Chain A
Amino acid sequence: MRPWAAAILYAVLGAITFVVCFPLLWAISTSLKPKDEIFRWPPTLWPENITFEAYRELLFGGSVASAPGAGVAPSAYFLTWFGNSIIVSVGSTIISITVATLAAYSLTRFRFWGQRAVPYIAILGYMVPSVIFVFPMFLTMVSLDLTDTLFSLILGYVCITLPFCLWLMWAFFRGVPIEIEEAALVDGASRLQVFRQIVLPVALPGIIAASIFSLIVSWNDYLFGRVFMNTMENLPLTVGVMHFFDGTHVDWALMMASSVLMTLPMAILFGFMQRHLVAGFGAGAVKG
């Protein structure tokens, strides 16, 4: 490529990247502004006086609302919500990945009746929107007396994570050559030994990619948490932070600081695992 063409390309890509990243840069900038600067017009692009007040309130707050008798401020729950979100995302991911990995292995190594239906079932589940799952699942949780528990949320998320985990693992196992396994079987290893010692290590990249997608989907969900949960202490992060809107006055620094903190775990995962992610996207298994 000629140097001037490369220069133009860099400029165009730089401009697009800036526009795409702007909402998050603006969130960071806002989260660092003192209250009076937030409401200034025209707005300052970068805070004149940087303050970490909003982060302090979220992470070490436990602060009580200023109005007397108003009880505990929603921001005091932030870390609890954060923990809840980690528990439910990891919980549902473990279930979905385990089920999907075992089934995908079986599907690609054995022949049995009804096998051809599985991919169709996976794609159907993959396309059904959560708004259809959520109320039947909620009513089931009510009759099992499980509402408002983190466990119910874990089960709810399996509805939306399992189909694409299955699809991704299935696509992955079809690409893993069978010869090494056959050699080990001929040498007298049992099927379970082969699975543990040969198949699982080879499948690790696929498992990682599927896990990341599953974590992202359950971490980002709002609907299930909104319908299943009531008590402030039990909310996932996504539902919790919407409570910051409850008052008449919106604390934008607090909102933006929680936005930043909420995106951070996924951003870190994404940064480390970008290679695996693209592999997963390539296999066509993404929920959106």
Chain B
Amino acid sequence: MKFRLSDRQVGVLFMLPLILAVAVFLVWPIAEAVRLSFVRYNPLRPDDQPFVGLDNYLFVLEDPLFWESFWQAIVWTGWSTVLQAVIGVGLAMLLHQPLKGMNAFRGLLLFPYIVPTVVIALNWRWLFNSEIGIVNHLLMSAGVIDDRIAWLSTPTMAMTSAILLNVWKYTPFVVIVVLARLQTIPTELYDAAKVDGAGAFRRFRDITLPQLAEVLAVVIVFRTIWTFNKFEEIYLLTRGGPGTSTYNLALYAFDQSIANLRMGVGAAAGVIMLLLLLAGSMLYIRVSGFGREDKAA
């Protein structure tokens, strides 16, 4: 005799692990973060968690460091996203050309995406070392600069280095998505435009860009949301420094929770990040038509 499950039972059975996992690994931590944001919680005294209402939120919103982090996060996100989009589209166009050995170039140019952030941060600290770093050496011997630049110890340059790191690591993401889209543009469009006498620039402006518009919008929303919330890239490179000049909201939340032992305040900052993110996701759903069966992926 053989035990056989009905179709219906299999369908439900296969869903059970996911339902459990979503409850444990998604709903629970977020609910817990929201709860924490309404209590005073010092991890050294876990049994004492008085409810404090909106105090944590008021603390965050009145904290100058929070607003400094917020504006710095916008600078960091804006530059990173724009540079990634521009360089990404340019690279994707180059990699789309029919050329022998293109796969090797594609592989090498996508490589930064898989390099651990810790590794990149270490490499960056070494490349941009102000005393003996190779970047200063190359810039000086090329005559671009006369004196060594203190890359990681002045506010503007620290932010610049962090943005460069982010662009280096995540431009491949844009390249891959755009490249995949480029390959689906019918070549007839270009042939017809050529017959009509359109030059390379006009073909780019009138055919390529409109065809890419949708996927680019999606990529930009994604990259904006992720970049805005990045923690490791900044923390490992500058620890938010010099001073607090490269803090963003993720570093702010981390700092409050770990260094200042104010888990509640950190959680409140996290919830604010989450609300901003939800607004961004709404935008994404609008832009991409996500959820409609035919184009959900």
* A residues lining the B interface (CB < 8 Å): 1, 6, 9-10, 12-13, 16-17, 20-21, 23-24, 26-27, 30, 38-43, 95, 98-100, 102-103, 105-107, 109-110, 112, 116, 118-121, 123-125, 127-133, 135-137, 139-140, 142, 155, 158-159, 162-163, 166-167, 170-171, 174, 190-192, 195, 216, 219-223, 227, 237-238, 241-242, 252, 255-256, 259, 262-263, 266-267, 269-271, 274, 277-278, 281-286, 288
B253 proximal to A (CB < 8 A): yes
Q: How far is the CA of A274 from the CA of B110 in the complex (A)?
A: 9
> Secondary structure at chain A's binding surface: helix, strand, loop or mixed?
helix
CB-based contact B273/A9 at 8 Å: no
CB-based contact A127/B281 at 8 Å: yes
CB-based contact B231/A263 at 8 Å: no
- Determine how close the nearest CB of chain B comes to the CB of A115; give it in whole angstroms: 9
Q: How far is the CA of A42 from the CA of B170 in the complex (A)?
A: 31
**Which of B106, B131, B281 is the one whose CB lies under 8 Å from A123?**
B281
Q: How far is the CA of A38 from the CA of B236 in the complex (A)?
A: 22
CB-based contact A119/B7 at 8 Å: no
**Which of A17, A124, A162, A263 is the one whose CB lies under 8 Å from B25?**
A162
Q: Give me 5 A-to-B residue pairs in the complex whose CB atoms sit less than 8 angstroms apart, sorted by A's number.
A: A23-B120, A42-B137, A129-B231, A137-B29, A221-B232
CB-based contact A282/B32 at 8 Å: no
CB-based contact A102/B94 at 8 Å: no
Beta-carbon nearest neighbor of A132 in chain B = B270
Using A26-B127, A43-B132, A102-B14 as known contacts, say yes or no to A132 and B30 having CB atoms under 8 A apart.
Answer: yes
Task: List, in ascending order, chain A residues with CB within 8 A of B126's CB.
Answer: 26-27, 30, 252, 255-256
CB-based contact B118/A241 at 8 Å: yes
CB-based contact A192/B10 at 8 Å: yes
Interface residues of B in 187-220 (CB under 8 A from A): none
B119 proximal to A (CB < 8 A): yes
- Determine how close the nearest CB of chain B comes to the CB of A27; give it in whole angstroms: 5
- Determine how close the nearest CB of chain A comes to the CB of B29; give it in whole angstroms: 4
B161 proximal to A (CB < 8 A): no
CB-based contact B18/A127 at 8 Å: no
Task: List, in ascending order, chain A residues with CB within 8 A of B253's CB.
Answer: 131-132
Interface residues of B in 246-297 (CB under 8 A from A): 250, 253-254, 257-258, 263, 266-267, 270, 273-274, 277-278, 280-281, 284, 290-291, 296-297
Stretch of B51-59, B63-71, B172-180 lying at the A interface: B172-180
CB-based contact B230/A129 at 8 Å: yes
Task: List, in ascending order, chain A residues with CB within 8 A of B270's CB.
Answer: 131-132, 135
Q: How far is the CA of A77 from the CA of B213 in the complex (A)?
A: 49
Using A26-B123, A100-B18, A102-B14 as known contacts, say yes or no to A9 and B94 having CB atoms under 8 A apart.
Answer: yes
**How many residues in B have their beta carbons less than 8 Å from beta carbons of A?**
91
- Determine how close the nearest CB of chain A comes to the CB of B166; give it in whole angstroms: 10
B45 proximal to A (CB < 8 A): no
CB-based contact B111/A127 at 8 Å: no
Beta-carbon nearest neighbor of A41 in chain B = B132
Interface residues of B in 89-105 (CB under 8 A from A): 91, 94-95, 97-99, 105
Using A112-B11, A174-B297 as known contacts, say yes or no to A17 and B108 having CB atoms under 8 A apart.
Answer: yes
Q: How far is the CA of A282 from the CA of B105 in the complex (A)?
A: 18
Q: How far is the CA of A277 from the CA of B110 in the complex (A)?
A: 10
CB-based contact A132/B29 at 8 Å: yes
**Which of A136, A263, A271 is the one whose CB lies under 8 Å from B116?**
A263
Task: List, in ascending order, chain A residues with CB within 8 A of B115's CB.
Answer: 24, 220, 263, 266
CB-based contact B116/A220 at 8 Å: yes
Q: How far is the CA of A124 from the CA of B280 in the complex (A)?
A: 11
CB-based contact B17/A20 at 8 Å: no
- Determine how close the nearest CB of chain B comes to the CB of A287; give it in whole angstroms: 8
Task: List, in ascending order, chain B residues with CB within 8 A of A220's CB.
Answer: 114-118
Beta-carbon nearest neighbor of B9 in chain A = A191
CB-based contact B46/A142 at 8 Å: yes
Beta-carbon nearest neighbor of A98 in chain B = B17
Q: How far is the CA of A191 from the CA of B230 in the complex (A)?
A: 43
Q: How far is the CA of A284 from the CA of B194 in the complex (A)?
A: 32
CB-based contact A102/B18 at 8 Å: yes
CB-based contact A9/B226 at 8 Å: no
**Which of B112, B263, B266, B290 is the one whose CB lies under 8 Å from A20?**
B112
B153 proximal to A (CB < 8 A): no
Using A98-B17, A267-B111, A278-B176 as known contacts, say yes or no to A17 and B118 having CB atoms under 8 A apart.
Answer: no
CB-based contact B18/A135 at 8 Å: no
Task: List, in ascending order, chain A residues with CB within 8 A of B29's CB.
Answer: 132-133, 136-137, 140, 159
Q: How far is the CA of A274 from the CA of B107 in the complex (A)?
A: 7
Using A191-B5, A262-B118 as known contacts, say yes or no to A105 and B14 having CB atoms under 8 A apart.
Answer: yes
Using A99-B21, A105-B14, A112-B11 as known contacts, say yes or no to A219 and B223 having CB atoms under 8 A apart.
Answer: no
**Which of A10, A16, A100 is the one whose CB lies under 8 Å from B91?**
A16
B139 proximal to A (CB < 8 A): no
**Which of A110, A120, A242 is the one whose CB lies under 8 Å from B236?**
A242
